[in-house]
Amino acid sequence: MNNRFKHLSKLASNTTRGLNKAAITTVALATLTLGVGVHAFADLAFKTVYYVYVDDQFVGTVSDKEIVENVVEAKVEKTKDDFSNQLPLAVGPKLTYVPEQVFESVSNQDDKVVAEKLEKLLSIEAVATEILIDEKVPVYVKDEAAANQVMKALKLKYVSEEEWQQAQQIMNEKESLPPLKEGETRVVDVRFSKEMTLSQNKVSPKQILSVDDAVNYLTKGTLEEKKYKVKEGDVLGQIANDHDMTLEQLIKLNPGLTEDSLLKIDQELNVTFLQPLVEVIVEKEVFQKETIPFEKEVIEDSSMYKGDTKVKQEGKDGLREVTYKVSEQNGKQTQKVVIDENILQEPMSHVAIKGTKVIPSRGDGSFAWPAVGGYISSKQGQRWGKLHKGIDIARPSDRTIKASDNGIVQSAGWSGGYGNKVVINHQNGFETVYAHLSSIDVKVGQTVSKGMKIGVMGSTGNSTGVHLHFEIYKNGNLENPLNYLK
């Protein structure tokens, strides 16, 4: 009977390994049915084993849950050694172990196999705070306090601590604000261009950034700015294309670089195009006094000669107080609108009257080149110990001399050192003189129009060669022709 009982016990142990209690009860009842005594069956000792799962994967069975806990503890300690910052650590994949009572325990070898599998399958993750940008880009920091430091540091790149506090107060109170005084600026809002939400998440400790690194990453879109060393045969356009950027972007990344820059072998170029992951929007109210420029108005008068003008009303600037709402994104102004205005003094338009009356005998005050081409061979000024009153024009393509403006011929003939000379009175205070002509084609009292032929260039009188001597007078005073010729 004892041998049979031992045989049935062994059979039950083998049969029930890994079964639940209902199955064990079934085996026990079967044993009783075979005539085994109740007291004898009760002498059988149950053993507790643990079925281990990583996520939904069955890893194996261990004799004691400490086998699993020891593996986890060892990995946690190693992770703590690798990362000095005090991070809350947790097992990465979901780890579960289910206890079960069986007749025969697990061997040490089975324990060892499971422990080795867990060493490979388990990873230790840190419980970190995730800053999620626009529901797409995650950035991980130690905790919520660090996340708040990151967001504040981003904002303080573009406003002062005082301005940030002021904006916080304004946003919280949401009351009407007192008017600004001259020269004052008030920050009314500081926010991000994209939604930023905080939550807890388990990640590898390697993914967790310091506050400074997180700010840098959010500002630049990268933690590492790559450099490129110029090689023989490189050209800027190809370098830009190889790094997925435009030539304009490459030049912008490298101050002092232009499209025509000569590249040197081993010269280092910045090739990381920085693109912020999020930008800071600052809204300000700015109060200032401003000049309102006066407008210019011209009234045409057909009773006045063309070229004559007179001022009917002097212009005068106005003055206003104005409050602007200014929006900036990462320090660059994107919008400026007037939200309040108070006119202190209206501007007065400058009103000028301009003559439009044209008659053939009257010039309009603008002077045309009196020759056909040519160049200035001598300017007005001291020459050979005396004043050279006009300019000399030589080497024309055609020797025709033309009236520089409308007028009446005042004199036409020989005039000592001037040789053959023509004087035109333009009936507006101006006179022009044309000297050293070889021949004269007009008569005294004749009305001439601008551009009309009045003679031929020559070398009469005191002349060193063929040229035109040209003078301009205004109200009897000698003027420099170069101030008037067009």
- Give the pLDDT score at 23: 37
Residue 74, SS3 per DSSP? helix
* 309 neighbors 289 (Cβ within 8 angstroms): no
246-283 b/e (C-beta count within 10 Å ≥ 16 → b) = eeeebbebbeebeeeeebeeeeebbbbbeebbbbbbbb
* Partners of 445 in the β-ladder: none
- Dihedral of alpha carbons 87, 93, 98, 99, sign: negative
pLDDT band at 470 (very low <50, low <70, confident <90, very high): very high
For residues 332 and 15, the model is more confident at: 332
| Residue 375 token pair | 């160049």
* 114 neighbors 53 (Cβ within 8 angstroms): no
Percent of the residues in the chain that have a pLDDT greater than 90, as a whole number: 58
* Partners of 288 in the β-ladder: 322
Spatial distance between the Cα atoms of 361 and 449, rounded to a whole number of angstroms:
7
Q: Is the pLDDT of residue 3 over 80?
A: no
- Give the pLDDT score at 39: 45
Q: For residue range 248-304, what is the model confidence (pLDDT) as tens digits?
A: 889 988 988 998 888 999 999 988 777 899 999 999 999 999 999 999 999 999 988
What is the average pLDDT across 414-431? 97
80-102 b/e (C-beta count within 10 Å ≥ 16 → b) = eeebeeebebebbeebebeebeb
| Residue 397 token pair | 């393509």
Q: What is the DSSP letter of 43?
A: T
Strand 196-203, strand 137-141: pairing: unpaired
Q: For residue range 356-400, what is the model confidence (pLDDT) as tens digits?
A: 887 789 998 899 999 999 999 999 999 888 999 999 999 999 999
pLDDT band at 41 (very low <50, low <70, confident <90, very high): very low
| Residue 229 token pair | 């060393």
What is the average pLDDT across 446-453? 94
For residues 466 and 123, the model is more confident at: 466
Spatial distance between the Cα atoms of 134 and 231, rounded to a whole number of angstroms:
40
pLDDT band at 85 (very low <50, low <70, confident <90, very high): low
Q: For residue range 193-235, what is the model confidence (pLDDT) as tens digits?
A: 999 999 998 888 888 999 999 999 999 888 777 889 999 999 9
Percent of the residues in the chain that have a pLDDT greater than 70, as a whole number: 89
- Give the pLDDT score at 30: 35
Could you tell me the maximum CA-CA distance found in the chain, to the nearest angstrom? 165
- Give the pLDDT score at 198: 96
For residues 106 and 450, the model is more confident at: 450
- Give the pLDDT score at 28: 35
- Give the pLDDT score at 368: 97
Q: Is the pLDDT of residue 336 over 90?
A: yes
Q: Find how far residue 134's CA is from the centre of its chain.
A: 20
The full set of domains in the chain, from first to last, is: 2-124 (no CATH), 133-178+191-270 (3.10.350.10), 281-357 (2.20.230.10), 371-483 (2.70.70.10)
Residue 403, SS3 per DSSP? coil
What is the average pLDDT across 79-96? 70
Dihedral angle of Cα 210, 215, 217, 218, to the nearest 10 degrees: 140
* 402 neighbors 448 (Cβ within 8 angstroms): no
